[in-house]
Structure 1
């Protein structure tokens, strides 16, 4: 039994005749009659009462019609599901992000994607950039909002610039330089620095060391943190000053101030990354929307 048999049978049953069904399906009446006969032979009973001029269903035919319609609906739904999957409209998507690095655009982007792609189950995972890169490679994440991908990972990960963030000095509110509108890194050469562990954010750590070298000094390192909230907490505790990207300003409180660095090149990238090996239509749908969002939100502050 094939779907063709069921479609012919349903067309004849719903249109009360072989001729009308043949015209609707653009096939010959003899072809439909032959296929329906084959179907009746297979199920072992007559499905149509042919004793009258007007074709009608037998009792068995009435029962079979219900089941045939259900099978055809499922078949059509299966095809539609495949088409939706190919268009990236159904499936699952696991997105990595890190605290202090997503700004206000991130929740807006997620909400818009969920609204447009209701058939996609979105899961969000908070994860430092360094760990995101590993998770993208092993398939634990599909998309990562992260920092620039290191060269060792760039062989297997694709990434695109999403946003440019200015870098800020995070100072205690009573620090002598706290009221400056901007600050040069060389003015902080004698300070003790609180930095994020390079293991968790290598791109930012490398950029800070490069800026310090450009300013002519090596930073005095104090306590380290695994993320921006931890670094801010250490500044509050008097452990030193921190250097953080602008997205961390969303975590600001009354005990610290963010002063932009005036040094040339004091910016860092936020990128969107994914594994080409694990790329799916759902990932491509998200990337397309994210790219549109990126063109509207790229900033240097």
Structure 2
């Protein structure tokens, strides 16, 4: 039984006239009669009572008319949903994110995306650095919002830059170094440092050490908190200084902290949207487009920190 046969049957049943149905379907009357005869043979019942003067539905035909209309409507809805999913306008998109690096733009982005694509189920999953990469590899998320430095050893993952960030020394405003006209790296080398625990942030941990090594010293680590918020609290309370990305951190950092930009290309990092190469979820490019637009607006309103000249 084919959908076309159902459509022919419904057309005849609604008009109770084979000639008019044939004209409407752009078929010959004999072709319509053959399709109805084949359908009756498949069902094993008569659908029409016919004579030289009239065409009437049998009792079985009346029941089948209702069911045929329902089947056609269900099929049309299935086709519609499938096409919407294929074009990215329906379905599910799972987004993993680093809370400390996205909280200044993610709420507005999510609101904008859901308004534009209400039929896409957007699932948000907060993860730490290591778990986010693992979730991408295992297809537990479609997109990961993270920093480019965390993806250097992820060969199956591609990414698109969303925002160019710069690493900064983060120092309390009342710290003696914060009042210097320029930051003396030799003086910084003697300072206690606070870094995120390598267990939850292996890439930022190693990246901090590499930045310091490139400048001729090894940081003396005194605290290894698991959360960026705790790290900033330690810095503000005078426990030590830190190296953190500016745009990702500044929006929610205390006004009692000063950000002093590190010079050099090695201090530039990208906030990125990442996804697995083989992931063909059509909602991915829709989300990327919204993310770039929302983040660009935020970046345009921010001013780069002071530099060490």
TM-score tier, shorter chain, comes to 0.7 to 0.9
How far 1:67 moved relative to its partner?
0.8
Q: What does residue range 157-196 of structure 1 map to in structure 2 within 5 Å?
A: 157-178=157-178, 183=183, 185-196=185-196
How far 1:279 moved relative to its partner?
3.2
Contact 1:184-1:261 within 8 A present in 2 as well? no
How far 1:161 moved relative to its partner?
1.4
Q: What does residue range 1-301 of structure 1 map to in structure 2 within 5 Å?
A: 1-51=1-51, 53-148=53-148, 149-153=150-154, 155-178=155-178, 183=183, 185-246=185-246, 247-253=248-254, 256-265=256-265, 266-293=267-294, 301=304
Q: TM-score when scaled to structure 1?
A: 0.87
Change (3 A) 1:179 1:27: farther
1:38-73 CA-partner distances (Å, limit 9, x unpaired): 222333333223236353333332222111100111
Question: What is the distance in 2 between the residues matched to 1:202 and 1:152?
Answer: 12
Q: TM-score when scaled to structure 2?
A: 0.85
How big is the alpha-carbon RMSD for the aligned residues of Structure 1 and Structure 2? Answer: 2.7
Contact 2:6-2:68 within 8 A present in 1 as well? yes
SS in structure 2 of the partner of residue 161 of structure 1: strand
1:161-201 CA-partner distances (Å, limit 9, x unpaired): 11112323333343224456874655422210001134433
| Corresponding pairs, count | 299
How far 1:297 moved relative to its partner?
5.4
1:243-268 CA-partner distances (Å, limit 9, x unpaired): 211222233235x4132325234332
SS in structure 2 of the partner of residue 140 of structure 1: coil
Question: What is the distance in 2 between the residues matched to 1:182 and 1:131?
Answer: 38
1:1-26 CA-partner distances (Å, limit 9, x unpaired): 22222111011122332222222222
More moved, 28-37 vs 274-283: 274-283
1:106-153 CA-partner distances (Å, limit 9, x unpaired): 222222222222222211111122321111001122110011144321
Contact 2:104-2:252 within 8 A present in 1 as well? no
1:247-298 CA-partner distances (Å, limit 9, x unpaired): 22233235x4132325234332111111113332233433344355566555
Change (3 A) 1:65 1:135: same
